[in-house]
Structure 1
Amino acid sequence: MTEIVLFHSAQGLRPGVSAAADILRSAGHTVRTPDYYGGEIFDDIAGGLRKRDALGFAEIERRVREIGAGIREPVVFAGFSLGAYAAQLLAATHPAARGAVLLHGGVTADEVTSGPWPSTVPVQVHYMERDPWIDAAEIAELNRAVTAAGAHFEAHVYPGETHLFTDPDLPGYDPDAAALAWKRVIDFVKSL
């Protein structure tokens, strides 16, 4: 059994995040879904981005680090889109981090840490090949940083152009790609 902290996207702690947590719990893991938006949820990305911008990245990072401050046991940090940024930030800097699962997101390592990527923190990334929110060059740079540190890196790219394709509560949900993604996430976490 692994502890997983699963961060929501810019759209807030929507039912799809709870559904994802249930999938991971059914595989035997303990999953926490912190809400760094204070209960606000949004039906569209535009509303979520307005909230993100109103908070600002410095405040989001402060809230994410505050969530991480209470964690003492080994943990896998995971997240959706903006939540993938949160997960990556803590995976790169938190002493209890044992892995990172980045769904629909990911940035270069130097955007989240001033030093090298930790050699004990493998990374798994999932996104659609034509997702307009993903910069494949940034994912490739993250791959280089993670593997240069001696950690394992996996990127799983799915056909399509939807951003939050694993969220069953959103119109871009792709059940086949989502099922494969969750199988891969469960296998990755089990391997840690």
Structure 2
Amino acid sequence: MEAPSMAEVVLFHHLRGLTDGVRAFAGGLRAGGHTVHTPDLFDGALPGSLEEGSALAGTLPERGWEEYDGMVYAGISWGVMTAQRLAQTRPGARGALLYEACLPVTGQWAIGPWPQGLPVQVHGMSADPFFGGEGDADAARELVGLADSAQLYLYDGDAHLFTDASLPSYDAEATALVLERSLTMLAAL
């Protein structure tokens, strides 16, 4: 019997940086036998707030990310912008895992159409003021309506960055379910 092939994933962190909680989440994906890269976009800085992280993000140079071609692209909140852009524009992308954010796939702010057959999961809390209140949940619903390989998972609650065990917003039960569902998708690639 042939061993299942494991996926290679790049996980882009949120505006609070590459926290221990992001590293732990990546570890949860690695526990499924997958290789997970976690580039530190802030070079070790851990902003104390989303506002501080946003200011730091505004100073970053644009990168090409060629070293991550042909992978599954994953991102948490702000990291979804990079992950989704790469998933939608890189030939050879294997899939996308979008945590707590989703960009539009049609309209003025869209990157472009979702690639035919590219699997994607979107995870977010239904009452999260960012995900639910700023249009990300609506963008995810649209993506599910347009792409046959898209799944949206909504979790009860209003926390943002609920998958980061190092922050007060962490929800262990919801994160366990996010990881279980993500590992199911990765195992199917």
CA contact (8 A) 1:107 1:142 kept: no
Match of 2:82 among 57, 80, 86: 86
Aligned to 1:131: 128
Structure 1 or 2: more helix by fraction: 1
Aligned to 1:102: 98
Matches for 1:21-170 after TM superposition, within 5 Å: 21-55=26-60, 59=61, 62-63=62-63, 66-67=64-65, 69-72=66-69, 74-110=70-106, 111=109, 113-114=111-112, 116-134=113-131, 135=135, 136-145=137-146, 147=147, 151-170=148-167
Aligned to 1:184: 181
Paired with 1:179 and 1:37, the residues of 2 have a C-alpha distance of 27
CA contact (8 A) 2:104 2:111 kept: no
> Which range moved further: 33-42 or 168-177?
33-42
Structure 1: runs of 5 or more not aligned: none
Q: CA RMSD in A?
A: 1.6
Give the alignment's TM-score, normalised by structure 1: 0.86
**How far does residue 107 in structure 1 lie from its aligned partner after superposition?**
1.0
Matching residue's letter, 2:175 = A
Identical columns (%): 40
If asked which structure has higher relative contact order (CA below 8 Å, sep 6+), I would say 2
Paired with 1:144 and 1:36, the residues of 2 have a C-alpha distance of 32
Structure 2: runs of 5 or more not aligned: 1-5
Give the alignment's TM-score, normalised by structure 2: 0.87
